[in-house]
Structure 1
Amino acid sequence: MSLTDAAFEAEPVHAEVVHGKGPWRLAWERMRRDKAAVASMVVIVLVALLALFAPLFALITGHDPLTQYPSTALTPEGLPVGPGAEFWLGADSLGRDLFVRLAYGARISLLVGLSATVLATVFGVVVGLLAGFYGGWVDGVLARVLDVVLSFPYLLVAIVLVAAVGASVPLTIFVIAFFSFAAMARVVRGQTIGFREREFTEAVRSLGASPLRIMVIDVLPNLVAPVTVLASLLIPTSIVFEATLSFLGLGVDPRTPSWGAILADSTDFYRVAPGLLIFPAVLLLLTTLAFNLLGDGIRDALDPRR
């Protein structure tokens, strides 16, 4: 044995272990490098904490969101007071604490935005999967249903429903989800049409797998990325939708704290009490902008070409 061979035997070579990274871990690492996405997550967390601790803020200030305090929250002329030690952001036109109402309004906005998005996503994925996978007359019927839904004037429908049933949070969630699921269904339908003729679906079909099994096990996991991106962008749309309906008096009960209702209250008092307009508008802008930036960040993070 030569000296060179002996040296190689005496010093074994240790192979470097390479750990693979899954697509979701890679996406998370890309998200962490996206400063805009990180900043948007911080804003969303702060708004969520504002909504979560709304009862605590009401306890600290001693002001209920529905209680009027005319002796301390209104001037002798009957105008709302500005920000101060007792009313941190001032009061509204009826003498209610504006900060407490904004905190409870965050609850309504997040509840409606998230609930409507979940409902729209579930129904949109189901309809889109059925239409895209089966094709033929099933696709034709469901596609026409989506066209009819998208052709409805949503404000007219909201007015009719409110007149018939009365304004409420569940009704607002239903109206928003009804007009949002069609967009989700169209995206899912287009993606499903592309997947149903791919080699992996043909292979599973040749093995005798049922259509339900193919849709749920083979096609649906490939739709997670586009559905997640679209759902994250539907949340701010739903929040603005709710604020618009509440501003017009067609959303939640007018007595319920809502950013849209607070904005509607500011139309007659924004000159003497600009906080009634500025504070809810800034909260609405920051929240919707944060969700939009987060949606853009999720889209970029899930893009395998990045």
Structure 2
Amino acid sequence: MSLTEAQAEAEHLPEQPPGVPGKGPWRLAWERLRRDRAAMISLAVIAVIVLLALLAPVFAAITGHGPQDQFPSEGVTPEGLPVGPSATFWLGADGLGRDLLVRMLYGARISLFVGIVSTLLATVFGVIIGMVAGFYGGWVDTLLARVLDVVLSFPYLLVAIVLAAVYGAGLPLLIFVIAFFSFAAMARIVRGQTIAYREREFIEAARSLGAGKVRTMFVDVLPNLIAPVTVLASLLIPTSIVFEATLSYLGLGVDPRTPSWGAILYEATDYYRVAPGLLLFPALMLLITTLAFNLLGDGVRDALDPRADRR
């Protein structure tokens, strides 16, 4: 067959279908997550809560009530009791005549900020310490493992009380305490995963090519830890939010002048019999937020597991 005949025959061949692009692990995980109704509903709830927190100044401008503004003539009855929900105070007022809704939205800012920042700090330090302990092994692993055991054995409330007494309660101290008692759990998980990876073939190949330990940890081991670290971080956020609420409820959290869910709950204990909404609304907000983060974390865990069953 001549070249001309071969070209003519090739022109009459049916066109080949285009290749199907492969799906990466993150795309597959996103598809699994999208099929998880509980996780997607939780993600939508979290998005709404974050949006409301960001719009707190807008609500304050609409109502004309700042988070610290007191309206004793409108927000408190002649008997000295907080008023309930009304057109002026949409969720009622507290014992000082402050708008409960506005304070809750500003409190959401504090709780979300503390939960996310403390989780990021715990994740960074936990990943680094866990990788160093698991990869180097020997006395380094033994020393760091014992340090993690000591940290996990500390009574966090006692430590928080001592630090608050010495340095005074405040947002930086609150974030430090929460991150300090959260990074050990992250470090333990990362240490176990690193020990499992350090003898794998691709790690041995990197060593044979002359890669140093630090480069091997961050270039070869760390990418394989993203999935478990992401899952644990998503579950640490609600734990940190509850941690913040607990410390603020006990007066060990943010400045008392700063609204937070824990402080609002503490202030409501004097009026929960006559104004149950003061306790119910912030408690419900805290419950919905932590439940949404936990359900989303469960969904992320199932989505990142390649053995997860298709739903």
Whether these two folds match at TM > 0.5 is yes
Q: Which stretch of structure 1 is more off in the superposition, 260-269 or 233-242?
A: 260-269
Distance 2:14 2:109 in 1: 63
* Cα shift readout 1:196-238 (whole Å, capped 9, x = no counterpart): 0000000110111000110010000000000000000000000
Partner of residue 53, structure 1: 55
Distance 1:101 1:8 in 2: 74
2:200 maps to 1:162: no
Match of 2:178 among 176, 179, 193: 176
* Partner-residue secondary structure (3-state), 2:182: helix
Deviation at 1:12?
Answer: 2.4
RMSD between aligned alpha carbons?
Answer: 1.4
2:107 maps to 1:94: no
Partner of residue 283, structure 1: 285
Deviation at 1:9?
Answer: 7.8
Partner of residue 155, structure 2: 153
* Cα shift readout 1:125-165 (whole Å, capped 9, x = no counterpart): 00000000000000011111101101110000000011111
Distance 1:279 1:100 in 2: 12
**One-letter identity of the residue aligned with 1:14:** Q
**Map 1:21-100 → 2, pairs under 5 A:** 21-100=23-102
Identity %: 75
**One-letter identity of the residue aligned with 2:161:** I
Partner of residue 244, structure 1: 246
Partner of residue 4, structure 2: none
Partner of residue 142, structure 1: 144
* Cα shift readout 1:40-68 (whole Å, capped 9, x = no counterpart): 01110111011101111111110111121
2:115 maps to 1:132: no
**Map 1:216-255 → 2, pairs under 5 A:** 216-255=218-257
Deviation at 1:16?
Answer: 4.7
Q: Which runs of no fewer than 5 residues in structure 2 stay unpaired?
A: 2-7
Distance 1:25 1:55 in 2: 37
**One-letter identity of the residue aligned with 2:30:** W
Number of residue pairs the alignment of both structures matches: 302
Partner of residue 298, structure 2: 296
**One-letter identity of the residue aligned with 1:304:** P
Deviation at 1:7?
Answer: 9.6
Distance 2:285 2:119 in 1: 20
Question: After TM superposition, what 4+ stretches of structure 1 lie above 3 angstroms from structure 2?
Answer: 6-11
TM-score normalised per structure 1: 0.96
